[in-house]
Amino acid sequence: MSKIKVRYFASLRELLGNIREEEYEFKKGVMLIDLLLSYIPSRHRNVSRSWKQRMFESVNGEIRLDKYGLPIPREYYKILINRRYFNLTSKDSLKHELKNGDVVDVLPPVGGG
């Protein structure tokens, strides 16, 4: 089994009950999309729907899919894996295979002025 650490920031941390970070165990072959669409929502069932609607484009509560059948992530959320930015609008980023020891940062949009 492999382990990764996921860290949440700002409004996403609040959504998940002020959890700063948590670990997930998985078998080889798990991709970033699996983490975002299955692993995290499964662990946080009480906010699963809200998580998915924040992270992915949806219409009438249903997640929109692109021409490849992948969910369409909202562009303003940022994902870093081991401090490397992953462009969620790229299908290759969503299919990135997670490795043992990876640290995944999930950042919501930042506002200010």
Three-state SS string over the chain comes to CEEEEEEECHHHHHHCCCCCEEEEEECCCCEHHHHHHHHHHHHCHHHHHHHHHHHECEECCEECECCCCCECECCCCEEEECCEEECCCCHHHHCCECCCCCEEEEECCCCCC
At 70-98, the pLDDT tens digits run: 899 998 899 999 999 988 877 788 899 99
Q: Which CATH number fits domain 2-107: 3.40.50.300, 3.40.50.720, 3.30.390.10, 3.10.20.30?
A: 3.10.20.30
Q: Which residues of the chain have pLDDT under 70?
A: 111-113
pTM higher than the cut 0.85: yes
Task: Give pLDDT, residue 112.
Answer: 59
Domain ranges of the chain: 2-107
